[in-house]
Amino acid sequence: MDAFNLTDKVALVTGGNNGIGLGMAEGLAGAGADVVIWGRNAERNESAAESVGRHGTRVLALRVDVADEAQVVEAFGETVEAMGHVDAVFANAGVGAAGTRFDEMTTDEWRRIFGVNMEGVFWTFREAVRHMKPRGSGSLVVTSSLSADLGFSRGEHYAATKAGVRALIQGLAVEYGKYGIRANAISPGWVVTGMTDAFIEGDQFESVVKPRIPLGRWGHPDDFAGIAVYLASDASAWHTGDTITVDGGFLQR
Ligand code: NAP
Ligand 1 centroid from CA 178, angstroms: 31
What span, in angstroms and rounded, lies between the C-alpha atoms of 237 and 189? 25
Angle between helices 156-176 and 120-135 (to 10 degrees): 10
Using a 6 Å cutoff on CB, does residue 19 contact ligand 1?
yes
Q: Is the CB of 194 under 6 A from ligand 1?
A: yes
DSSP 230-242: HHHSGGGTT--S-
Tell me if 220 CB under 6 Å of ligand 1. Answer: no
Confidence class for position 34, pLDDT limits 50, 70, 90:
very high
pLDDT of 99 = 93
pLDDT band at 180 (very low <50, low <70, confident <90, very high): very high
Average pLDDT value for residue range 24-49: 98
What is the edge-to-edge ordering of all strands in the sheet holding 88-91?
59-63, 34-39, 10-14, 88-91, 138-143, 181-188, 243-246
227 in any annotated domain: yes
Instruction: Flag whether 253 is in a domain.
Output: no
pLDDT for position 43: 98
In the predicted structure, residue 215 carries a pLDDT above the cut 80: yes
Look at the chain and report how many structural domains it folds into: 1
Mean pLDDT of the chain: 97
Closest CA to 185 of 128, 136, 224: 224
Query: What mean pLDDT do residues 161-189 have?
Result: 98
Q: Is the pLDDT of residue 168 over 80?
A: yes
Average pLDDT score over residue span 46-71: 98
Residues 6+ apart with CB under 8 A from 86: 10, 11, 12, 36, 76, 79, 80, 128, 131, 132, 138
Q: Is 158 a catalytic residue?
A: yes
**Span from the CA of 21 to the centroid of ligand 1 (angstroms):** 7
SS3 of residue 148 by DSSP: helix
Catalytic residue among 158, 176, 179, 230: 158
Pocket test for ligand 1, best of 35, 193, 247 (most atoms within 8 A of CB): 193
> Which residues make Cβ contacts (< 8 Å) with residue 157, sequence separation at least 6?
97, 105, 109, 110, 113, 114
Which CATH number fits the domain that encloses residue 150? Answer: 3.40.50.720
Q: Is the CB of 228 under 6 A from ligand 1?
A: no
Domain that holds residue 170: 2-248
From 195, 209, 210, 224, mutation site for ligand 1 pocket: most ligand atoms within 8 A of C-beta: 195
Instruction: Write down the H helix ranges in the chain.
Output: 19-30, 42-53, 69-83, 107-114, 120-135, 156-176, 203-204, 225-232
Instruction: Please check the confidence at residue 201 and state whether its pLDDT lies above 90.
Output: no
